[in-house]
Amino acid sequence: MARKKTGKRAAPKKAAKKTAKRAPARARKLVYFFGGKMADGNGKQKALLGGKGANLAEMALIGLPVPAGMTITTEVCTHYFKNGCQWPRDLQTQIESNIAKIEKVMGKKFGDLKNPLLLSVRSGARESMPGMMDTILNLGINDQVVESLAGKTGNERFAWDSYRRFLQMYGDVVMGVQQTAQEHHDPFEHILEQAKNKAGAADDTDLSVDDLRDIVKKFKALIKNRAGRDFPQDPMVQLQGAVDAVFSSWENDRAKVYRQKYGIPAEWGTAVNVQAMVFGNTGRKSGTGVAFTRDPASGKNVFYGEYLVDAQGEDVVAGVRTPKPVARMAKDLPSSHKQLLKIRAILEKHFRDVQDIEFTIEDGNLWMLQTRIGKRTGFAAVNIAIDMVNERLISRKEAISRIPAEDLSHLLAPIFDAAGEKKARKIASGLPAGPGAACGQIYFTADAAVAAAAKGKNVILTRQETSPEDLRGMIAAEGILTTRGGASSHAALVARQMGKICVCGAHDLTVDYKKKTLSGNGVVLKEGDFLSLNGFVGNIYAGELKTAPSQVIQGLLENSAAAKRSATYKKFTELMKWADQYRKLGVRTNSDSPKQVKNAIAFGAEGIGLTRTEHMFFEGNRIDAVRQMILAEDDAGRTRALKKLLPYQKKDFIGIFEALQGRPATIRLLDPPLHEFIGTMTPAQIKKLAGKLKVTSAFIQRRISDLHEENPMLGHRGCRLGIVHPEITRMQATAILEAAAEVQRKGIQVLPEIMVPLVSYAKELELQKAVIDETAVKVREKYGLRANQLKYQVGTMIEIPRAALTADQVAEHAQFFSFGTNDLTQTCLGLSRDDSSSFLPAYREAEVINNNPFSQLDQIGVGQLVEIGVKKGRSKKKNLKVGICGEHGGDPESVKFCHRTGLNYVSCSPFRIPIAKLAAAQAALEEKG
């Protein structure tokens, strides 16, 4: 470590000279300046400058007050990790020349004893990762600088407060002085706490200069003792260490967990922002705060934030002191408040979206330290987008593009049953930080929460406040409750982003970590007790509350008039109207029963993309007939069983066709992996079945072992069954077509699309189609229909790579294709759908994959098979209808891929339809640019 540092310190100077001589103008730009109403970069360069750096540049460009600074690009971070943590050779020189620029704008000098410039060193990835990486403030102070700072400002308290803050951050982040496993407190906080107790100070602001001097001494000793070396006095060495630490924080545990959760690639790296410090801790005319230009939980158009007087940045978020709501600034700091409201309007107009801002006031001067697009809940996303259209701030197209499609699932999530909530025992209330209804058992640590969730419990993570270390616990929890912290606390921020139900700052309640209790207002709850949170309004109830479907679902599926009057329902339906206007992809549903089909149509399905006929076989007595068919030893036995099944199937199809009211239905022929039907039978079940079928248990046992397959997923299933036993296909085609003929007779249009599964060879489809066509002739005869009076199509599911690769041959016999991407993923990756869950988590952990390929289509791999299939299929039949019916049909990214690949429709489960529609509209808009 030490060698690396000295090596680096010596090297850059030499390198700088050399490069200067060789190619002065050609040096790659590693560092971008901003400040004084100008900037090298701008808001569009988020990939290069990170989100924070790009927006600091943009704010400088539009004339907002931003302390001058520089952004070291993300490319430098990538270079750093690729080269054994070494800096590129020009970096030191470029940093030095940019420091000179900062010095000029700010009128101070780095390391100077007369008028010292202090710096903040801040991370900033392409997408913001709140609290995941580290920030160091007040860099550049040392034993002499602190004295000159005190002299220059005439504010000794401020100078020493800044020094102790710097040591604390630098010691932790750069020199690794952190809480050990044996300690209950952060060692710096512990020293601070002791000093406060000794001085009888309630707040850090109550500490005297002498107290602070003493704390600084103790901090330095602590660092020396723990890190084995002195904290560096040389400001440039401090800076080098801080830049390295920010780079390294990209690879810390917290950041990695976050990246996995949000699928952020490791290669992106983080930028480093080095910025002149402005000070919120110089007294009562100073302060610091964070705000959203609108309420990010509900989406209401109100300025929403909080601030602290006489404090520095992290104090607000860390919950050390309780911040005040931003409206109070009108009293405490009136002119800054006015200026801030103006900036609120400028920012919304310029960025045309809700902004999440950080600001500091130094002696009455307001400085902007950050702006970014405000993360919001699904509810807020919909509300804000629609409000902004009405305010003519954005267009409908933009509104659509902005709402993460997945967020619509929040609007469909259950709420509390109104009658039940009235009767429930409310124990306290807090800030509504994450809307929704959560009910579960309370656990007080992230570890306990994770363990309980792993056992299948619903968990309410209950903490005084949360920190980034709690992330795993927050992911595992249904809901989050904190007793401290405000609207911008870590808990609120993260919950909002993850779409978790959250109530924070419930000050009437107390968490006792040692006793593992939550108490207040006369109630004491222990670990494992039930608690319910209403995240819409912030109410907290003891016990378990009953939930009810969301207002959207009550409106759509239950036709409830009250729900239809709710704002949520109205905005949801408005949004769906817009999505329908722009999307080009059709959206169908995967549904197996008339009831599901009705629901899907209420959600806006335009037909069925997949009915799995064997799913109907589990109902009632039918399973016996199915098992009889599978177990049959000969054609005669099989035909007898099939005869029993025919009326069941026909009845189901009649129900489905009626529910569809003229919409198309893709019906897949039987595809039973045998083990699902007979592999799991218990001896008692076998005995019972033997009685019903009038055979012996021994016979059934023998047939089960005859039929046993080592690898049923690759076994005798799909069309392979119909090839060997055409009578199975015949029975199903009969059921479908007779049902069609009968429903048609009632004046309802019927459009059956019969889909042959698991085709590898074109010939398989050809043979199965022949069976279906022959059956159709017979059905027409029976019902006295001419050829054009009973229409149907025959197509295939593309789910085996060979079928995709030979799609031109397959298309000769197909009127449509539907990509069965569940099996296509399984067969393309050679990855078992049933067994992969045991090792896929490790794959995500190791960042081999960012997403489960069974949930999000592997576009690079499996996607190629889809592309080839579409291209080759349409090379034979120009207008071949192509859809997708795997789970991926409801995943936004996969839906967009389907649009780009030219599919006609996607098909997904009923509750995913709104999400698929929105994603489809977004894809269409992305295409136009």
Residues at the contact surface with ligand ADP, assessed by CB under 6 A: 67, 120, 122, 130-131, 135, 137, 275-278, 288, 313-314, 358, 360, 369-370
**How near is the Cβ of 50 to ligand ADP at its closest, in Å?**
10
Per DSSP, the residues of 273-307 read: EEEE---S-SSTT-EEEEEESS-TTT--SS-EEEE
Q: What is the CA radius of gyration of the chain?
A: 33
Closer residue to Mg ion (CB): 306 or 799: 799
Closest by CA position to 431, among listed 536, 303, 314: 536
How do strand 425-429 and strand 431-434 relate by DSSP bridges? unpaired
Report CA-CA distances (Å) from 662 to 606, 665, 706, 744.
10, 9, 44, 9
Q: Binder to Mg ion among 249, 298, 355, 370 (CB under 5 A)?
A: 370
Which residues are catalytic, by number? 490, 885
Which of residues 48 and 770 has its CB atom nearest to ligand ADP in the complex? Answer: 48
| Token pair in block for residue 855 | 């949930």
CA distance 351 to 373: 8
Among Mg ion, ligand ADP, none, what does residue 131 contact (CB within 5–8 Å per kind)? ligand ADP
Of 424, 279, 300, 294, the C-alpha closest to 361 is: 279
- For β-strands 530-534 and 116-117, DSSP reports them as unpaired
Beta bridge partners, 368, equal 359
Which has the closest alpha carbon to 437: 451, 464, 418?
A: 418
Q: Tell me how far apart the alpha carbons of residues 570 and 563 are, in angstroms, rounded to a whole number.
A: 9
Q: Given the complex with Mg ion, which of 174 and 317 has the nearer CB atom?
A: 317
Cβ proximity of 159 and 150 under 8 Å: yes
- 135: helix, strand or coil: strand
Strands (DSSP E) found in 787-915:
793-798, 816-819, 881-884, 905-908
Give which of Mg ion, ligand ADP, none residue 823 binds (C-beta under 5 to 8 Å, depending on kind): Mg ion
Integer Cα distance of 834 and 836 in angstroms: 6
Alpha-carbon span 218 to 188, nearest angstrom: 9
What residue type is 902 in one-letter code?
A: G
Give the closest residue to 901 by CA, choosing from 918, 914, 888: 888
β-pairing verdict for 539-542 and 365-373: unpaired
How would you label 72-111 residue by residue, b for 16+ Cβ within 10 Å and e otherwise? bbbbbbbbbbeeeeebbbbbbbbbbebbebbbebbebbbb
Give the span between the Cα atoms of 399 and 174, in whole angstroms.
43
3-state secondary structure 240-280: HHHHHHHHHHCCCHHHHHHHHHHCCCHHHCEEEEEEECCCC
The answer to whether 571 and 909 have CB atoms below 8 angstroms apart is: no
The CA distance from 717 to 714, in Å, is: 8
Q: Give the N- to C-terminal CA distance of the chain in Å, as an integer.
A: 49
Return the one option of ligand ADP, Mg ion, none that residue 277 interacts with (CB less than 5 to 8 A, by type).
ligand ADP
Shorter beta-carbon distance to ligand ADP: residue 171 or 722: 171
What is the token pair recorded at 80? Answer: 């750093």
Closer by beta carbon to ligand ADP, 135 or else 429: 135
Residue 270 and residue 163: Cα distance in Å, rounded?
27
Binding-residue total with Mg ion (CB under 5 A) = 5
Q: Do β-strands 517-520 and 523-526 pair in parallel, antiparallel, or remain unpaired?
A: antiparallel
Residues 6+ positions from 652 with CB-CB distance below 8 Å: 593, 594, 613, 616, 739
Whole-angstrom distance, CA of residue 520 vs CA of residue 543: 15
Is the CB of residue 49 less than 8 Å from the CB of residue 37? no
Is 536 in contact with 418 (CB distance < 8 Å)? Answer: no
- Measured CA to CA, the distance from residue 547 to residue 686 in angstroms comes to 40
Partner from Mg ion, ligand ADP, none contacting 76, C-beta within 5 to 8 A by type: none
- Is 799 an interacting residue with respect to Mg ion (CB under 5 A)? yes
- The reply on whether position 887 binds Mg ion by CB under 5 A is no
- Please name the residue that has the structure tokens 């030191």: 92
Residues with Cβ within 8 Å of residue 623, at least 6 apart in sequence: 617, 677
Contacts (CB under 5 A) with Mg ion, residues 822-861: 823
Q: Are 328 and 334 in contact (CB under 8 A)?
A: no
Instruction: Please report, for residues 277, 290, 717, the alpha-carbon distance to residue 368 in angstroms, rounded to integers and kept in the order given.
Output: 11, 10, 64
Supply the minimum distance, in Å, between the C-beta of residue 425 and Mg ion: 39
- CA distances to 50, 576, 596, 667 from 607, rounded to whole Å, are 44, 17, 12, 11
Residues that bind Mg ion (CB under 5 A): 358, 370, 799, 820, 823
